[in-house]
């Protein structure tokens, strides 16, 4: 990671040398008995620790606003403290105002560091929210999909049954999202690029979901979202929003931009999971699913438990979710 910040490290190291040469050539060396060891240790130690923290920061973060603010603040504190320390070895005349300006880097660095920590806090809040959305999945590591690291179809069925048994009568919506012409993406750009599209769509969906929603990879090119405490109209509005967000993605592969869009179907999760998912699979295959996509869950229940003909979790529709349903995973 430090290789990404070679220019920053070189500039900070060069500044330390320039500071020393500046004091050594313009100032007058103080005799040994005038050295104030307490100031040397405290100011020099501050410069040393700020330099160590700078290395830690640059070795653990990519470039960006937060990294630049943190690194800039630490570098300024290091250089200002180094100037303070050099004052203990060289006498600088009071007419030399530049000495005061160099020492003023310490409070300036603290301001930069404070700004960096503020934006770092905002970044961590977003990351924690992103992880919290996955927390429900982390309870059962066997339910991970290999490509997207999302829950698979078996886990989705377990959670539908769990919601139905734990909170009967409470609204719970189910949304199925299908990537348009995914087989053409595989054919034109290759299977590896198809996997990257699945990962990108999964991340985009996850970032736009609420904390209690559960995102799963239901099939090769299909994602399912379980939405507790959500009416059908609200689920439809959120699904339309998700489709719009994915449609605005600028996904670029090695061969150029890869167009990605979704269609969706929605239903209340108040019937047998296989029947619900089967009805949603049929609905999402119709052109009408691009705009309205609501499914009558009562009709889904009457269609039978074996209606799910597109049960998959592998690449491009290869079956991976067709195992018999397991017992409901613990909440």
Stretch 125-137: mean pLDDT? 68
CA pair distance 34, 95, nearest whole angstrom? 21
Contacts of 277 (CB under 8 A, 6+ apart): 153, 156, 157, 174, 176, 218, 224, 308, 311
Stretch 281-295: mean pLDDT? 62
Q: Note the Cα 261 to chain centre separation in Å.
A: 21
Q: Is the pLDDT of residue 297 over 70?
A: no
pLDDT, position 295:
55
Region of poorest pLDDT, from 81-90, 191-200, 313-322: 313-322
Largest CA distance in the chain: 96
267: phi then psi, degrees, rounded to nearest 5? -160, 160
Per-residue pLDDT tens digits for 188-246: 888 888 888 888 898 889 888 888 888 998 888 899 999 998 999 999 999 999 999 88
- Report which of 208, 136, 135, 214 is spatially closest to residue 172, judged by C-alpha positions: 214
Q: β-strands 252-253, 222-228: how paired?
A: unpaired
Q: β-strands 28-29, 90-91: how paired?
A: antiparallel
Q: 37-60 vs 6-26: helix axis angle to the nearest 10?
A: 160
- Report which of 116, 110, 9, 120 is spatially closest to residue 59, judged by C-alpha positions: 9
What number of helices (H) and strands (E) belong to the chain?
11, 8
Q: How far, CA to CA in Å, does 11 sit from each of 5, 16, 54, 108, 286?
A: 10, 9, 13, 18, 60
Task: Give the Cβ contact number of residue 143 at 10 Å.
Answer: 20
Task: Give the Cβ contact number of residue 257 at 10 Å.
Answer: 10
Q: Is the pLDDT of residue 313 over 80?
A: no
Per-residue pLDDT tens digits for 57-79: 988 888 888 999 999 999 999 99
How does the average pLDDT of the chain come out, rounded? Answer: 80
CA pair distance 314, 28, nearest whole angstrom? 74
CA pair distance 19, 107, nearest whole angstrom? 18
pLDDT, position 42:
92
Q: Is the pLDDT of residue 314 over 70?
A: no
pLDDT, position 296:
52
pLDDT, position 69:
93
Q: Is the pLDDT of residue 265 over 60?
A: yes
pTM score, whole prediction: 0.50
pLDDT, position 186:
81
Contacts of 272 (CB under 8 A, 6+ apart): 301, 305
Confidence of residue 253 (pLDDT cuts 50, 70, 90): low
Per-residue pLDDT tens digits for 269-280: 888 999 999 999
CA pair distance 300, 267, nearest whole angstrom? 9
| DSSP single-letter state for residue 271 | S
Length, in residues, of the chain: 331
């Amino acid at each position: 990671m430090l290789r990404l910040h070679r220019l920053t490290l070189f500039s900070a190291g060069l500044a330390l040398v320039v500071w020393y040469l500046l004091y050594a050539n313009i100032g007058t060396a103080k005799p040994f008995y005038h050295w104030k060891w307490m100031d040397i240790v405290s100011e020099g130690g501050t410069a040393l620790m700020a330099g160590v923290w700078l290395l830690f920061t640059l070795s653990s973060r990519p470039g960006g606003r937060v990294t630049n603010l943190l690194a800039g603040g630490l570098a300024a504190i290091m250089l200002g403290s180094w100037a303070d320390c050099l004052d203990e070895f060289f006498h600088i005349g009071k007419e030399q105002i530049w000495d005061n300006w160099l020492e003023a880097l310490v409070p300036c660095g603290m301001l930069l560091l404070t700004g960096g920590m503020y934006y770092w806090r905002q970044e961590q809040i977003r990351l924690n929210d992103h992880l919290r959305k996955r927390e429900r999945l982390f309870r059962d590591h066997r339910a991970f999909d290999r490509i997207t690291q999302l829950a698979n179809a078996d886990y989705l069925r377990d959670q539908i049954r769990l919601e139905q048994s734990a909170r009967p009568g409470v609204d719970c919506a189910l949304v199925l999202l299908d990537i348009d012409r995914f087989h053409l993406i595989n054919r034109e750009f290759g299977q590896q690029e198809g996997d990257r599209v699945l990962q990108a769509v999964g991340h985009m969906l996850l970032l736009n979901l609420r904390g209690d929603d559960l995102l799963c990879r239901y099939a090769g090119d299909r994602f399912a979202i379980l939405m507790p405490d959500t009416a059908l109209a609200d689920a439809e509005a959120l699904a339309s929003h998700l489709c719009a967000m994915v449609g605005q993605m600028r996904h670029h592969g090695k061969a150029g931009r890869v167009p990605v869009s979704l269609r969706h179907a929605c239903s209340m999760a108040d019937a047998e999971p296989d029947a619900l998912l089967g009805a949603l699979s049929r609905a999402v295959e119709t052109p009408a699913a691009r705009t309205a996509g609501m499914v009558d869950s009562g009709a889904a229940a009457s269609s039978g438990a074996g209606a799910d003909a597109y049960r998959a979790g592998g690449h491009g529709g290869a079956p991976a979710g067709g195992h018999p349903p397991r017992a409901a995973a613990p909440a």
